[in-house]
Amino acid sequence: MTRGLAVVGAVGAAVVAGPGAGVSAAQGGGQGAAAGAAAFTEVRVWASGVNVRNAESGSAQFRICQNHPSRANCPVVATVSETTVTAYCQKQGEEIVDSGYRSRWWTYVESPSGPWGWVNNVYLVGDEHLAHVSDCTF
C-alpha cells in the first residue's frame, strides 16, 4: 500500500559511524559510492513514537539484528516521531502490522538524536518496499 509520496533527497557526505560499523567501505554509500552500492537518502516517518532498533556494534546480537531486523532481535535505541531521517538501505525481517498496514521490510536509518537502527517500513511514507532506498548488501 502507498502511504503518500516519499521525501527523496541525496545526502551530502557519508556518515561512516552508522552503516560503517557493520559494512565495509566498498559497500558504503554517499559520494563516490560504486555503482549498485547503497547510498544515503531521506525518508519520512509519518507516525509518532516509532522505535528505532539496533544492537551494540561488535556484539553477537548486532550480527543477529543486522541479519534479521525484528522486535526480538533488536533492542530500542531511539524513538522518532513525524520527522525526516537519513536512510542507508532496507532488508526483510519480521513482519509488522499496524494502522492497517503490513510490511516485512525494515530500513536502516539515522535517528535525529544520532543512533543508527532499523525502522519497519510500515512507519515510513511510501510503499512496503521503498523504490528510492537500496536493498542492504549485508
Least confidently predicted of 3-17, 48-62, 72-86: 3-17
Reported as a single tens digit per residue, the pLDDT across 47-71 is 999 999 999 999 999 999 999 999 9
| pTM of the complete model | 0.76
Q: Outline where DSSP puts E strands in 4-131.
A: 41-45, 50-53, 76-80, 83-98, 101-110, 116-120
Q: Residues 114-136: what's their mean pLDDT?
A: 97
pLDDT number for residue 60: 95
Buried b (16+ CB within 10 A) or exposed e, 61-99: ebeebbebbbeebbeebbebeeeebbbbbbbebbebeee
Q: What is the rounded distance in angstroms from the CA atom of residue 20 to the CA atom of residue 80?
A: 22
